[in-house]
Chain A
Amino acid sequence: MEGMIQSSVPQYSKPFHSLATMARSVPNPRIIAMHRRRHRIPQLTSHSFLPFISSSPTGSTVSFATPEVGVSNTETPEWAMQDFYTLRKDVETVLERVEEIRAAAGLKQLQEDLAALEAAATDSALWDNRATAQETLQALTDCKDKLKLLHDFKTQADDAETIIKLTEEMESIDSALLQEASGIIKELNKALDRFELTQLLSGPYDKEAAVITITAGAGGTDAQDWADMLLRMYVRWGEKQRYETKVVEKSVGEEAGIKSATIEIEGRYAYGYLSGEKGTHRIVRQSPFNAKGLRQTSFSGVEVMPLLPEDSTDVEIPEEDLDISFTRAGGKGGQNVNKVETAVRITHIPTGVAVRCTEERTQLANKIKALSRLKAKLLVIAEEQRACEIKQIRGNAVKAEWGQQIRNYVFHPYKLVKDVRTAYETSDITSVMDGELDPFIKAYLKHKYSMTANPSGLS
């Protein structure tokens, strides 16, 4: 009911701010419109409003029943004074946060970059070199996007602030408006979280789409079921991020679960977020596949690679360094067999790094795809090892790094998901399995960032 105020504030002592400070900039036109609309509706006058509040008895529910108004908006919850103060505080905090982020993001520098890039983009010599032209245009788009984002943060924060000031000006509570402000703050905080996270993603491939390969470890059906649970977890995560998430390959287990699966997750920064997920994931539970319900530990391996655009991998790998094997359905082959078995496995002999590709309909197509995945994997490993070229990759180190146990999921005797690297943990295992991975991802990215910034932390 509009105009209802539930208050647990004993005394209303602090008067609303005067309007003098309000609206230093042009407010959101929508809010102006709302403002006007509000004024068309018969409202509580400021006269009746303030005295009533200040005389309100402690703790009781004060009803501003104004039957003559006749406007009932049941969709917006009722707002209490205290809620308003909380909201005002939130708005102040978010305003500060937006300013900090804008400063940290180097707003000035970005504007200078934009000018420089715009000049370069309009240069008549731009298309002399196609590759650099594309790079320039991409950089321009990135720069514009970032500036727009920073601008949007500011606009949204201002919108919320305007609503607060409007409310103070009108000296009345408009639930719908406050609800809107609250919504803005909520969304804005999420966007800011995301932006901060993105700042941690500055690796050369972080922006790219990602390919996740999940492989069940030893441990039979239980491990295969665990791999299937992880598959579901990542698919749900991808859907939550509104990334385009495709299971491109899935090899089901004999009894339950999967032996392996490959997911392609397309969307900006998919690789950056997911790169820290690679490693061994361990589950401890009472196995549903074990008649005695004994506690069982199983493992599944997760590999994450960037999905690089076809032409961006200008890495040449000598043919003799590759061991390419085609899976054939056995038997005599040729005319004797008709199985659409097109799997291709490529091993980079010097490092032992291998990839497998099965989802395409011809071996040729799988070979091309596998080769591009192999290159992506080698590039990522080279970057991790700070090697300038593929040749310098230390193969023995790869196995250790990529197979490292990174997270424990304990279902029994207690519920706990704990990241081995960051020590981040939660007991809400259901949500995690439902794709709530962001806290883990964020913790890892921060951890990684602090490691790079402060290498002495490495021990």
Chain B
Amino acid sequence: MRLSFIRPISCCAVSSPTTLVKPQTPLFLRPPTFKTTLTDLKKWHLWAKSLASSVGSAFLNLDNGPDSNQLLRELNWLIEDAIGTPKSILEQPHKSRNGNSTVLIRTCLDELYVLWKQRVEERRPFQYVVGCEHWRDLVLSVQEGVLIPRPETELIVDLVDEAIKENEELRDGLWGDLGTGSGALAIGIARILGSKGRVIATDLSPVATAVASYNVQRYDLEEKVHVKQGSWFEPLRDNEGEFVGLVSNPPYIPSKDIGGLQAEVGRHEPRLALDGGASGMNDLIHLCDGAVSMLKPGGFFAFETNGDEQSKFLVHYIETKKQGSFSKVKMVSDFAGIQRFITGFRGR
């Protein structure tokens, strides 16, 4: 078996670049119809481990990328997703007599070589490699062209949950998720709403709306979540003033910073979802402005920002430029202690 990688004649298509609007099925949901032998799989595993180990802390020093340990952990998860049989078979080095036994995998072995090479050498994000991201208690499908939901953003669902618990009227109202991407926030919120609660999720990107719709469907939430294509509030004009809540994780990275981002982000994730203009705040300000007319009195909002400075600026902006429109506006920290979110209520 190869130790150096030679691109083989592939028996299955390598994941296509961004333009496909048909959502891709995450690896773990594909049927385990490919066969390989335990010996060949172990060879791949060994090769993949050594490729991961060879990275050391090079990426970390270069652009705060993953180190070997993180890559090795990802490799375990790739195996978890790719393999039809329990992955512990790889951990039994002493049973060589099973070497020829068949192992069922969800993509061909050659594709596994391609995928891991893409992960390490091209810095393709792990979540695109396996086609999914574990987020809160959800497993969301993601692919090139859709922002991979971040762990920080999980907190927005908790903030919504708190707001709902304080004011039960919010539970059965209409919510908006602006720039939904994979649909993470819309789905997370829909699952804590009451039977009458609804979410409209918007995104400008057709890939994002396709993927979000697919995720909504996977969680059987078609009745609760409507995905609409369009820029920010545009698809919501019919519902002006009806929203009890708005959430968003809009692009907020200043344009000048995009070039210096970690390769996984800068080279592979959609710029549309990252670049917030010169100050990074173009879209955040647009959202604050729009929220005034979209929210019902007493309605709640929570927006994610690039952190401390942006959050402070926005709170100040709302207090001075939107005087009287909102109440209880505050900043909320993420788990790293960065003031990541601003939340508040539409004045009554």
What is the chain A residue whose CB lies nearest that of B253?
A335
Contact A341 B70 (CB under 8 A): yes
Nearest-neighbour CB distance to chain B for A262, whole angstroms, equals: 12
| A243-277 at interface with B (beta carbon < 8 Å) | 244-247, 249-252, 254
**Which one, B74, B137, B262, contacts A340 given CB within 8 A?**
B74
| B260-281 at interface with A (beta carbon < 8 Å) | 261-262, 264-265, 269, 273-274
* A292 sits at the interface (CB 8 A): no
CA distance A339 to B69 in the complex (A): 11
Contact B72 A252 (CB under 8 A): yes
Interface string of A329-351 (1 = CB under 8 A from B): 11111111111111000000000
Contact B94 A333 (CB under 8 A): no
Interface string of B295-318 (1 = CB under 8 A from A): 000000000111100000000000
Contact A335 B150 (CB under 8 A): yes
What is the chain B residue whose CB lies nearest that of A363?
B151
**Which one, B66, B73, B252, B274, contacts A358 given CB within 8 A?**
B73
Nearest-neighbour CB distance to chain B for A48, whole angstroms, equals: 46
Contact A331 B152 (CB under 8 A): no
**Which one, B65, B134, B265, B336, contacts A335 given CB within 8 A?**
B265
| B45-92 at interface with A (beta carbon < 8 Å) | 53, 56-57, 64-66, 68-70, 72-74, 77, 88, 91-92
Nearest-neighbour CB distance to chain B for A342, whole angstroms, equals: 7
Given A254-B57, A336-B265, A364-B137, residue A328 in contact with residue B91 (CB < 8 A):
no
**Which one, B56, B69, B262, B273, contacts A337 given CB within 8 A?**
B262
* B224 sits at the interface (CB 8 A): no
**Which one, A249, A328, A329, A363, contacts B154 given CB within 8 A?**
A363
**Which one, A246, A251, A334, A339, contacts B88 given CB within 8 A?**
A246
CA distance A322 to B223 in the complex (A): 39
CA distance A339 to B125 in the complex (A): 9
Contact A336 B261 (CB under 8 A): yes
Nearest-neighbour CB distance to chain A for B196, whole angstroms, equals: 27
Interface string of B218-262 (1 = CB under 8 A from A): 000000000000000000000000000000010111000100011
Contact B152 A334 (CB under 8 A): yes
Nearest-neighbour CB distance to chain B for A319, whole angstroms, equals: 14
Nearest-neighbour CB distance to chain B for A332, whole angstroms, equals: 6
- For A365, the chain B residues whose CB sits under 8 A away are 134, 137
Contact B274 A333 (CB under 8 A): no
Contact B73 A334 (CB under 8 A): no
Interface string of A298-341 (1 = CB under 8 A from B): 00000000000000000000000000011011111111111111
Interface string of A350-369 (1 = CB under 8 A from B): 00000000110111110000
CA distance A338 to B74 in the complex (A): 13
Nearest-neighbour CB distance to chain A for B220, whole angstroms, equals: 21
Report how many residues on chain A are interfacial, defined by Cβ distance under 8 Å: 34
Contact B265 A338 (CB under 8 A): yes
What is the chain B residue whose CB lies nearest that of A360?
B134
Contact A362 B253 (CB under 8 A): no
Contact A252 B53 (CB under 8 A): yes
- For A325, the chain B residues whose CB sits under 8 A away are 335
What is the chain B residue whose CB lies nearest that of A245?
B91
Given A337-B64, A342-B151, residue A326 in contact with residue B135 (CB < 8 A):
no
Contact A239 B94 (CB under 8 A): yes
CA distance A335 to B265 in the complex (A): 8
CA distance A331 to B334 in the complex (A): 13
What is the chain A residue whose CB lies nearest that of B87?
A246
Nearest-neighbour CB distance to chain B for A245, whole angstroms, equals: 8
Nearest-neighbour CB distance to chain B for A154, whole angstroms, equals: 34
By Cβ-Cβ distance, the 5 closest A-B pairs, closest first, are A361-B134, A326-B335, A328-B336, A362-B134, A338-B264
B-side residues, CB < 8 A to A, are 53, 56-57, 64-66, 68-70, 72-74, 77, 88, 91-92, 94, 125-127, 134-137, 147-148, 150-154, 249, 251-253, 257, 261-262, 264-265, 269, 273-274, 304-307, 334-336, 338, 340
| Sampled A-B contacts (12; CB under 8 Å) | A239-B94, A328-B336, A335-B150, A338-B125, A338-B262, A339-B64, A339-B66, A340-B74, A362-B135, A362-B151, A363-B335, A365-B134
